[in-house]
């Protein structure tokens, strides 16, 4: 998937504790019709420390958290509350009281805007049972004030993707060649291709995994990218190429050289299945990781 470039920009020095991803637990019904409706729902469910009160009209809310640069369109809704607890204690409370089904993705502190010397943040990855949701985040930003209170901004960030067209599928039957590599580098194209011919059962298994993938965001842009493997399937009417990428655990599918919408191998089930089929000589591809989600 040429042209993937992901510009990662974090406002804080985060201590990464987990990977972004979807999980089996559901916070909302699958029938949620839009990212805005979903964001409003999640914002209302976001856990708050005891004593939280809506911010006064003149209160200055913390600046928006670091956005997911390179992933668009991004829906971001937020609200503001104030507490008489210190920002550090607010952060500690939020770390112990995650949203239902959420995992802690990052926590940390950094310099705040204007007279604020330090602000604290907690980011959670939400598990949403909805095929449109590529990513959902809940981000808290706590800022101390001169009045010995804490202003807390709560953001819900959602990346919403369309459903895959029914015709964009990898053929489960055909002549299949799987290619892995001896050497992988972010700075250059993979080197040392190692090819193997797949049997009917192996191809059918990979096709089932590939066809179950959700569509990824159309504007995922990566500064560097590496093709981890390449699957070529030749049928009577078409030549199909399935390529796994390092960036964003993305997978690209092309049919007769026509590149289709990007796919997301979020939990790397397809990558792991490919690695089991590659010869030992394709050592770099067999050991590769694409930042898989834990769940």
Alpha-carbon distance of 279 to 234, in angstroms, equals: 21
What is the rounded average pLDDT for all residues in the chain? 82
Is 0.85 topped by the overall pTM?
no
At 108-139, the pLDDT tens digits run 887 766 655 678 999 999 988 888 888 899 99
Do 70 and 6 meet the contact criterion of CB atoms below 8 Å apart?
yes
At 149-184, the pLDDT tens digits run 899 999 999 988 888 887 789 999 999 999 999 999
* Model confidence band, residue 78 (pLDDT cutoffs 50, 70, 90): very high
pLDDT surpasses 50 at 18? no
For range 188-203, the mean pLDDT: 95
At 240-285, the pLDDT tens digits run 999 999 887 889 999 999 998 889 888 899 999 999 999 999 999 9
Do 261 and 199 meet the contact criterion of CB atoms below 8 Å apart?
no
The tokens describing 205, both together, are 């298994």
* Model confidence band, residue 148 (pLDDT cutoffs 50, 70, 90): confident
Distances (CA, A) of 91 to 166, 241, 285: 45, 47, 40
Residue 186, judged by CB atoms within 10 A of its CB (0-12, 13-18, 19+), counts as: exposed
pLDDT of residue 167: 79
Task: Quote the strand ranges of the chain, DSSP E.
Answer: 15-16, 53-54, 74-83, 103-110, 119-125, 133-144, 150-160, 175-185, 188-198, 214-215, 227-234, 239-245, 250-255, 258-259, 263-264
Cis ω before 270 (30° cut-off from 0): no
At 41-77, the pLDDT tens digits run 999 999 999 999 999 876 666 777 876 666 778 899 9
pLDDT of residue 132: 86
* Model confidence band, residue 188 (pLDDT cutoffs 50, 70, 90): confident
Q: Quick one: DSSP state of residue 97?
A: S
Do 93 and 86 meet the contact criterion of CB atoms below 8 Å apart?
no
Q: Quick one: DSSP state of residue 192?
A: E
Q: Which of 99, 106, 96 is nearest to 141 (CA)?
A: 106
* Model confidence band, residue 216 (pLDDT cutoffs 50, 70, 90): confident
pLDDT surpasses 70 at 92? yes
């Amino acid at each position: 998937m040429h042209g993937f470039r992901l510009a990662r920009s974090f406002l804080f020095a985060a201590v990464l504790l987990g990977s972004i991803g979807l999980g089996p637990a559901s916070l909302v019904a699958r029938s949620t019709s839009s990212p805005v409706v979903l964001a409003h729902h999640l914002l209302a469910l976001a856990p708050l420390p005891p004593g939280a009160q809506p911010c006064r009209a003149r209160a200055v809310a913390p600046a928006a958290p670091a956005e997911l640069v390179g992933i668009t369109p991004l829906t971001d809704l937020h609200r503001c509350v104030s507490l008489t607890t210190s920002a550090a204690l607010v952060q500690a409370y939020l770390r112990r009281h995650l949203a239902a089904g959420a995992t802690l993705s990052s926590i940390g502190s950094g310099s705040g805007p204007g007279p604020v010397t330090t602000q604290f943040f907690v980011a959670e990855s939400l598990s949403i049972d909805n095929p449109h949701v590529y990513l959902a985040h809940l981000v808290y930003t706590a800022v101390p004030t001169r009045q010995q209170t804490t202003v807390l901004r709560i953001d819900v960030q959602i990346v919403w993707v369309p459903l895959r067209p029914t015709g964009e599928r990898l053929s489960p039957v055909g002549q299949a060649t799987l290619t892995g590599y001896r050497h992988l580098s972010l700075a250059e194209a993979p080197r040392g291709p190692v090819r193997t011919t797949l049997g009917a059962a192996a191809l059918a298994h990979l096709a089932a995994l590939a066809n179950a993938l959700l569509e990824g965001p159309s504007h995922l842009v990566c500064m560097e990218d590496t093709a981890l493997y390449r699957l070529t399937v030749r049928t009577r009417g078409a030549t199909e190429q399935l390529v796994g990428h390092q960036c964003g655990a993305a997978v690209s599918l092309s049919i007769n050289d026509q590149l289709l919408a990007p796919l997301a191998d979020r939990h790397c089930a397809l990558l792991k299945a490919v690695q089991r089929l590659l010869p030992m000589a394709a050592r770099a591809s067999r050991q590769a990781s694409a930042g898989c989600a834990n769940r």
